[in-house]
Amino acid sequence: MAVNLDKPHLWKADISQSVDMYNDWFMNFAPSAFRETRVEVTKDVEATLRATENLTNITPEIFRRHPGILPTLRMSTCPPLAVDRLIGLASVPSSLVKRMEKEKKLPIRLQGDALDIELRKIGKIIERMADPDIFTWLNRSESPSQTDIYRAATIVADRLCGSVTNPIIRNAQERRQLAAIQNWLETRQYKKLVGQDGVKFDQMPPGTFCFRMNVPVNLETGKVINIPVDVAIKPKSSSMDELPVFLEAKSAGDFTNVNKRRKEEAIKMSQLRSTYGDQVQFNLFLCGYFDSGYLGYEAAEGIDWIWEHRIDDLAGFGL
CA distance 47 to 150: 11
What 8-state DSSP symbol labels residue 284? E
Residue 38: what pLDDT?
80
Q: For residue 185, what are the domain limits? A: 8-30+166-317
Residues 6+ apart with CB under 8 A from 251: 22, 170, 173, 174, 177, 286, 287, 288
What 8-state DSSP symbol labels residue 141? S
| 3 within some domain | no
Residue 114, Cα to own-chain centre: how many angstroms? Answer: 34
User: What is the pLDDT confidence band of residue 305, given thresholds at 50, 70 and 90?
Assistant: very high
Backbone phi and psi for residue 105, each to the nearest 5 degrees, phi listed first: -135, 160
| 2 within some domain | no
Give, to the nearest 10 degrees, the angle between helix 292-300 and helix 8-51.
100
Do both 312 and 170 map to the same domain?
A: yes
Last residue of one domain, picked from the residues 126, 145, 164: 164
Do both 182 and 216 map to the same domain?
A: yes
User: What is the pLDDT confidence band of residue 198, given thresholds at 50, 70 and 90?
Assistant: low
Residue 239: what pLDDT?
83
Among 164, 156, 81, 162, residue whose Cα is nearest residue 125: 81
Do both 103 and 127 map to the same domain?
A: yes
- How do residues 124-134 score in pLDDT, each as one tens digit? 999 889 888 88
Average pLDDT, the chain: 86
Among 27, 7, 29, residue whose Cα is nearest residue 306: 7
Among 46, 117, 130, 122, residue whose Cα is nearest residue 88: 122
Do both 280 and 180 map to the same domain?
A: yes
Among 124, 8, 151, 154, residue whose Cα is nearest residue 58: 124
- How do residues 278-304 score in pLDDT, each as one tens digit? 888 889 999 988 888 889 988 888 889
| 283 within some domain | yes
- H or E element in which residue 312 lies: none
Number of domain units in the chain: 2
DSSP string, 46-94: HHHHHHTTTTT---HHHHHH-GGGHHHHHTTBSSPPPHHHHHHHHT--H
Q: Omega into 107 within 30° of 0, i.e. cis?
A: no
- Residues 53-69, mean pLDDT to the nearest whole number: 89
Last residue of one domain, picked from the residues 147, 164, 181: 164
- How do residues 250-282 score in pLDDT, each as one tens digit? 888 877 777 667 778 888 888 888 888 888 888
Residue 307: what pLDDT?
95
| 43 within some domain | yes
Backbone phi and psi for residue 9, each to the nearest 5 degrees, phi listed first: -70, -15
User: Quick one: CA dihedral 257, 259, 264, 265, positive or negative?
Assistant: positive
Residue 163: what pLDDT?
65
CA distance 146 to 139: 17
Do both 131 and 173 map to the same domain?
A: no
Last residue of one domain, picked from the residues 164, 179, 214: 164
Question: Looking at the DSSP assignment, which residues form a beta bridge with residue 49?
Answer: none
**Are 310 and 35 spatial neighbours (Cβ–Cβ below 8 Å)?**
no
Do both 21 and 124 map to the same domain?
A: no
**In terms of pTM, does the model score above 0.75?**
no
**CATH number of residue 302's parent domain:** 3.40.1350
